[in-house]
Amino acid sequence: MDAETRELVLANRQFVWGLIARGFAEEPDGPFADILTSEHARAEVDLVSDGESEKLLGFYDELVALISRDGGIPEAADQFVRVFVGPGTLAASPWETMHTTGKRVLFHRDVLSVRDAYREAGFLPERYRAVADDAIGLECDFMAKLAERAVAANTAGDARACQDRLLQSLTFLTDHLQRWIGSLAQAIEEHYGAENFYAVLARFTEAWCARDRRLLDGLLEDSCLASARS
């Protein structure tokens, strides 16, 4: 792909991952709803035409409809608390290890693998040791930050740093998020209903992960070809 297309795709990844990370990280509010329902957001979701386009736009339109209806923001905020905060046992666990192992173990190898990925990329959660490394919000925020760093490296003309961030993104996506995002979506649907805002957000994220994997494959292949030519 040419330089302009590459820049566009990198920026697209940063925007969508940032939107997803904000959606899972905290209760929705007016500013988040404004971004989600904007023409710009829909254009970013529809930027690339591929096998996930119909799914992505369908789930995106559902999210917009849910948060735009009367009482949509407070309803989604209440759903956030029930799904991700409690009180009581969370019926649809927001932690990777519960979906990949069926156990919530602090030092399970899957959790340590997530922590190692953060460290290797130079990141640690703000509330390190007080939060679970494998929470959905943190994993998506990590992808958003890697995407942001890839954009910055590309803008600075540092092809090697950009390629490193893209490779870290692909590895984390395949080793972690894609292993359990579908399970999380199914659990939220079963326990809270398919029209729950976060059930739809999880399905949207699942479809986006499939697209992002193809985007990353293309970007990395392009980077390798460029390195070979140089």
pLDDT, tens only, 143-176: 999 999 999 999 999 999 999 999 999 999 999 9
Q: Which pair of structure tokens corresponds to residue 209?
A: 């992960």
Residues 8-32, mean pLDDT to the nearest whole number: 97
Inter-axis angle of helices 109-120 and 159-172, to 10 degrees?
170
Nearest-angstrom CA–CA distance, 44 and 116 = 31
Look up tokens 């390629």; give the residue. 163
pLDDT (tens digit per residue) in 68-80: 999 999 999 999 9
Here the tokens at position 177 are 């998020």
Rounded to the nearest 10°, the torsion over CA 166, 171, 176, 180 is 80
Q: What is the pTM of this model?
A: 0.93
Q: What is the pLDDT of residue 86?
A: 87
Mean pLDDT of 37-41: 98
pLDDT band at residue 11 under the 50/70/90 scheme: very high
Question: What is the C-alpha radius of gyration for the chain, rounded to an integer number of angstroms?
Answer: 18
Between the CA atoms of 74, 33, 99 and 194, what dihedral angle is there, to the nearest 10 degrees? 70
